[in-house]
Homo-oligomer: A and B are copies of this chain.
Amino acid sequence: MLTTRQVDAYHALTVVAPRIAEGFRPGHFLGVAVGGPHTSMLTRRAFFIHDVKPDYGGTVEFVFAVDGPGTAWLAGRRARDTLDLVGPLGRPFPLPRDPVTCVMVGDEYGSAMLFTVADALQRRGCRVDFVLGGASADRVFGAMRARRMAETTTLTTEDGSLGMRGRVTDVLPGVIADVRADVVYASGPMETLRRATAVAVEFDIPIQVAVEERMACGIGVCMTCVLPVIGDDGVTRMVRACVEGPVFRGERVRFDDVGTIPFDALGAPGGGSRNVS
């Protein structure tokens, strides 16, 4: 059972799902079945949870852009249709113990999942500042809500139709310096996460990123969603974004090697193991 609304370039679906709402922590995502009965589309689509409310025993809301046939089907759902969800999935954001200053960096629909994080941070006494961006004004999600809750909100668009012209990562150094940020939380395309991590490393502050890798199961059994991440022991492993992530410490993710098996990763071909299949 659901309600649906359009927010600029995005669609937002709210679904009654008490068990998911109950288990929710900021950073969690959903697996959504698409296409209805006898569809030819087998895999669930992954969406970050945007919001959770206590109405009707518990609702979850997610925000999405139409990309391919699955999201097109979702965009066609009407009020009171039912939806088949699995969740909450993934490892949520770790929250700091102390009341630190946090910069939230959201790009495109990636912004949608940051508000529950910001809420949780504020409840712990943290200061929150937002940097939100997108290709154009209609693709910057949540600017109003950010302005209401954050100390400062900086907006960017690539076409300059809203806020500063450029990318979120162009303005991030300035924001970090101005607000004397202690930590960065980032969500958006891989390239944005890579750049945001570079900025945080430059400032020598920690960054938590929510990555988006192609997923088929979302529960850790299919090995689709791997990326090279450096472990506590310094060893790079191909870890699953769906269960070991999607939230990682930015500097641990080998962004430049995403889409490859780095030669020094555990079990890499030639790295002592033979290539069996």
Contacts and interface: CB of A to CB of B under 8 A. Distances in A.
Contacts of A271: none
A44 B259 CA distance: 42
Contacts of A39: 35, 38-40
A96 interface: no
A36 B39 CA distance: 9
A18 B74 CA distance: 32
A38 B41 CA distance: 7
Interface in A156-181: none
A37 interface: yes
Interface in A31-47: 35-41
A60 B264 CA distance: 68
A39 B41 CA distance: 8
A263 interface: no
Contact of A37 (B37, B38, B69): B69
Number of identical monomers bound together in the oligomeric complex: 2
Nearest to A78: B78
Interface string A37-78: 111110000000000000000000000000001000100000
Contacts of A36: 36
Contacts of A40: 38-40
A72 to B, nearest CB: 8
A73 B73 CA distance: 16
A85 to B, nearest CB: 19
A40 B36 CA distance: 11
Nearest to A35: B38
A44 to B, nearest CB: 15
Contacts of A73: 37-38
Interface string A108-132: 0000000000000000000000000
Nearest to A40: B40
A38 B40 CA distance: 6
Which 7 residue pairs across A and B have the least CB separation, nearest first?
A40-B40, A38-B40, A38-B69, A35-B38, A38-B41, A38-B39, A39-B40
Interface of A: 35-41, 69, 73
13 contacts: A35-B38, A35-B39, A36-B36, A37-B69, A37-B73, A38-B39, A38-B40, A38-B41, A38-B69, A38-B73, A39-B39, A39-B40, A40-B40
